[in-house]
Structures are given as C-alpha cells and as structure tokens.
Structure 1
Amino acid sequence: MTRGNQRDLARQKNQKKLADSSKGKRTDNLTVEQRKARDAELMREKQKKKEEAAAAGTSK
C-alpha cells in the first residue's frame, strides 16, 4: 500500500476539526434552571393546544 497512514491522519484531522467546530455552539446562554423553566412552559402550551383541539373534536 503506497498511501501509508495518510488516510488515518486525514481522518483524525477531520474528527478534530469537527469536534472543535461543535464546541460552544450554545447561543441561548441560559442556566440549567432557566432552560428547564423555558422548556416546561413550552410543553404546557403544547399540551394546552392539544387539549383544546381534542375538546373541539379535531385532534391531529
């Protein structure tokens, strides 16, 4: 095989690049408690909409 370890080195380099690019992508800057509260509120709204749709007889 004439390529040697070039393929392996390229794979490692690409994995490192992907790992570095995925770091710090969190843009909301919320604490865990704030995120939980936000998600809980969204779920309550979603559940309310679903209950209203079921009461109207047009559940999807």
Structure 2
Amino acid sequence: MTRGNQRDLARQKAQKKLSDQTKGKRTDNLTVEQRKARDAEVMRDKQKKKEDAAAAGTSK
C-alpha cells in the first residue's frame, strides 16, 4: 500500500511544531540555584523601585 506524501507532510508538520515550541525559550545555561539568585535579585530591585515610587508619591 502506498500512502503518497502523507508521511512526508506529517513529518514536516511535526518538525515545524517542534521548532515553534523551542523558538521562544532562552537557554542561559544557569543552574537552578543561580537562576533563583538572579530572580531574587531582580525581584528585590523591583520591590525597591516600587517602594521608592510610593514614597515619592506620598511626599508630594
């Protein structure tokens, strides 16, 4: 039995789906601990900026 180009089309579709899934991911090669430390530092900075903005808003 021949399937025509069905198999090739399915293979192309699967390849495209796989490439779309990995397209947006960043590969920073950090360990879990390094990533947690980096994220914690970013969150502390954001919190500080928010507190500074709130303090500046109430002192006007």
Where has structure 1 moved over 6 Å in runs of 4 or more? none
Give yes or no for the alignment of 1:41 onto 2:41: yes
- Distance across 1 between alignment mates of 2:57 and 2:10: 55
Q: How many pairs are equivalent? A: 53
Give unpaired runs (5+ residues) of structure 2: none
Give unpaired runs (5+ residues) of structure 1: none
- Displacement of 1:20 in angstroms is 5.2
Say if 1:11 and 1:51 are closer, same or farther in 2 by CA, change over 3 A. Answer: farther
Say if 1:56 and 1:25 are closer, same or farther in 2 by CA, change over 3 A. Answer: closer
RMSD over aligned Cα, in angstroms? 3.2
SS in 2 for 1:57: helix
Identity across matched positions, percent: 62
Counterpart amino acid of residue 43 in structure 1: M
- Distance across 1 between alignment mates of 2:16 and 2:43: 36
SS in 1 for 2:30: coil
Q: Which has the higher contact order (CA 8 A, sep 6+)?
A: 1
- Displacement of 1:45 in angstroms is 0.1
TM-score, normalised to structure 1, is 0.62
TM-score, normalised to structure 2, is 0.62
Question: 1:55: which partner in 2?
Answer: 55
